[in-house]
Amino acid sequence: MTDFDGIDPHTLYEILRLRAEVFVVEQVCAYLDVDGRDFLATHLIGQLENRVVAYARWFEEEPGMWSLGRIVTHPDVRGGGLGTRLMSEAVKRLEDRTVVMHAQAHLATFYSRFGFQREGDPFLEDGIPHVFMRREAGVFVPPASPPSQSKRPS
């Protein structure tokens, strides 16, 4: 976990590459990922063999309200529990804060395991169905179970 200034250039390159690979290429969604908020954010970076394979960021959206987003895992490591570990760590770090997110609609059930509750109707964001979700400060979330030893084939 680090602020923007604590990210070395090679790691930053890998983060931006991972986000582009998943959000732009895999999900066929042309949008401006580099939005200026990375400078404001705390960055949670998951590495495996010196390679960025998971990532999330959060920042204070408005006083007392934190935004969690850009949550991503590399396709090669999905299904092995890394996303669960990433989210467990994020909510542990944010446990005393109210947190909101624009979650991709198909992941709403996954995020609900971490205390996020869906609010309102689905909406399109960059052509992808999303839902607004909120997690109130102090919501207890059990720790993540250890990741399975198997992973989905790439």
**Tens of each residue's pLDDT in the chain, 154 residues:** 999 999 999 999 999 999 999 999 999 998 899 999 999 999 999 999 989 999 999 999 999 999 999 999 999 999 999 999 999 999 999 999 999 999 999 999 999 999 999 999 999 999 999 999 999 998 877 666 654 444 433 3
- What are the structural domain ranges in the chain? 2-135
- Say what the pTM is: 0.89
CA-closest candidate to residue 15, choices 42, 40, 46: 46
Residues listed for the chain: 154
Q: In degrees rounded to 5, what are phi and psi of residue 4?
A: -60, -45
Structure tokens at 82: 């890394």
What does CATH list as the number for 2-135? 3.40.630.30
Q: Report d(CA 38, CA 8) in Å as an integer.
A: 14
